[in-house]
Amino acid sequence: MIEKGKISLVQLNILVMLFSLGSAILIVPSALSSVARQDGWISAVIGVALGAGIVQMLVILDRQHPGQSLVESCETILGSFAGKLVGMLYFMFFFLLASLVLRNIGDFITTIVMPETPIQAIHVLFLVIIVMGVRLGLEVIGRASEIFLPWIVVLILVLVFFIIPQIDIDRVQPVFEMGMNKIMYGSLSILGIPYFELVVFLMILPYVNKRQKAGKAFLAGSLLGGFVLILITCLSITVLGWDFTARHAFPSYTLAKKIRIGEFLQRIEVMMAVIWFLTIFFKLTLCFYASALAIAQVFKLSSYRPLVLPLGMIMLVMSLVVYPNIVYFREFSSHTWTPFAFVFGFAFPFMLLLLSKAKKAVGK
C-alpha cells in the first residue's frame, strides 16, 4: 500500500461534501441560471438527483475490486498496458482539474479580493499548503477537514440566516417558463462541476475504515454538498435575480455582499471568501493527492511523497498557462468541460464496470 493512513467514514463524508462545494459554490449558480434562468434551482435539483445516480455507479464500481484504487482496478480489468494508459489519462485528468481549481482561486483573488497582488504569488502561497497537506497524507487531510467543518457550517448558516430578509420569492416566477429541455441542459453544468469530478474519490475509497459502509458515506456526502449547492442557487436567484446571477462570475460572493443588518453588520462577504478558501483547499488537495497517488500507482512506486514537490512545480506553471483569460474559461466551462468530465467521470467508469462484470460472468 502506498498510503498507510486510513480515514474514518465521517471524514470521508466531510471530504466528499467539501469537495462538492469546492469551486462549485461560487461558479454553479451562475452557470445554472445562465441557461435555465429563474428555473435554475430546478436544474440544480435535477442535477443533484442525477449526480446521486453517478455516485451510486462509482460506488458499485469500487465494490468490484475492494481495496484497489481506480488506477489499480484499471490494470486489473483492462490488463497491464491499457490499464496503465487509462491510469495515466486519469492522472492527467486529476492534475488538470487541480490546476484549473488553483487557477480559479487565483482568478477570484486577483479580480475581487486583492487586485494588486500578482497571481503567481497567490498560486505559490496556496501551493505551499497544498503540497504540505498532500505530503502529510490522507489521514492528516481527513483530520483537518474535521477541524474546519464546524467553521464552514457555521459560516454558511450565518450567511443563509442573514440573507433571508432579502429574499424576494417573485424572482423565481414564472416557474417552468424555460421548458424541460433547457432545465435539463442547465442541470448538465452541475453534473460537470462537481459530480463528474467526484471520480477522484475512487482513489481514496480504498483507504477508508469499514469499507462496507464507505459507499453510503460517499453518497451522503455528495447529497449534503448538493443540498448546499441547491440552497445557494435558490438564494442567488431569489436575492439577486437570475439575470444578475448569470452575468456575474461569482454570484454567491455578491450574494454575501448584499447582507446588511442595521448599520454595523454589513459587508461580511469575507465569510463567503473564507468558506470558499476552505472548501477549495480540500478540493484542490484531494485532486492533487489523487493525481500524485495515480502516477505513483501507475509506475508502481513505493511512495507518492517524493513526487509531490516536482508535481507542485509543474502545477504552478500549468495553472498559469492553463487558460489565457477568464472569458476563455467561462466559455470552456460552459461548453467543453461537461462533455470532457463526462468521459472521465461517467463513460470510463461505466465501461470499466461493464467490463468487470463481464469478466466475472465469463470467469464463472
Residues 114-173 that bind other proteins (CB under 8 A): 114, 117, 121-122, 125-126, 128-129, 132-133, 136, 140-148
Q: Which of 57, 160, 167, 184 binds other proteins (CB under 8 A)?
A: 184
Q: Which of 80, 173, 181, 325 binds other proteins (CB under 8 A)?
A: 181
**Interface with other proteins in residues 190-229 (CB under 8 A):** none
60/320 with CB nearer other proteins: 320
CA separation (Å) from 298 to 74, 176, 196? 10, 48, 22
What is the rounded distance in angstroms from the CA atom of residue 213 to the CA atom of residue 297?
Answer: 25
114/164 with CB nearer other proteins: 114
Q: Quote the least distance from Cβ 359 to other proteins, whole Å.
A: 28
What is the rounded distance in angstroms from the CA atom of residue 127 to the CA atom of residue 108?
Answer: 15
Q: Is 96 in the site for other proteins (CB under 8 A)?
A: yes
Q: Quote the least distance from Cβ 102 to other proteins, whole Å.
A: 13
Angle 354-338-230 (CA atoms, 0-180°, nearest 5)? Answer: 100
201/337 with CB nearer other proteins: 337
Q: Which of 60, 167, 301, 326 binds other proteins (CB under 8 A)?
A: 301
Q: Is 316 in the site for other proteins (CB under 8 A)?
A: yes
Name the segment binding other proteins (CB under 8 A); options: 81-89, 229-237, 248-256, 267-275.
Answer: 267-275
Dihedral sign, Cα of residue 1, residue 294, residue 198, residue 348? negative
What is the rounded distance in angstroms from the CA atom of residue 237 to the CA atom of residue 162?
Answer: 16
332 CB-near residues (< 8 Å, 6+ apart): 323
Q: Quote the least distance from Cβ 281 to other proteins, whole Å.
A: 6
Using alpha carbons, select from 350, 341, 14, 2 the residue that is nearest to residue 190.
341
170 CB-near residues (< 8 Å, 6+ apart): none
Name the segment binding other proteins (CB under 8 A); options: 22-30, 51-59, 155-163, 295-303.
Answer: 295-303
Retrieve residue 328's grid coordinates: 476563455
CA separation (Å) from 4 to 179, 199, 288? 51, 21, 17
Retrieve residue 134's grid coordinates: 498532500
**Interface with other proteins in residues 18-37 (CB under 8 A):** none
Q: Which of 215, 225, 241, 312 binds other proteins (CB under 8 A)?
A: 312
What is the rounded distance in angstroms from the CA atom of residue 283 to the CA atom of residue 172?
Answer: 31
Q: Is 314 in the site for other proteins (CB under 8 A)?
A: yes
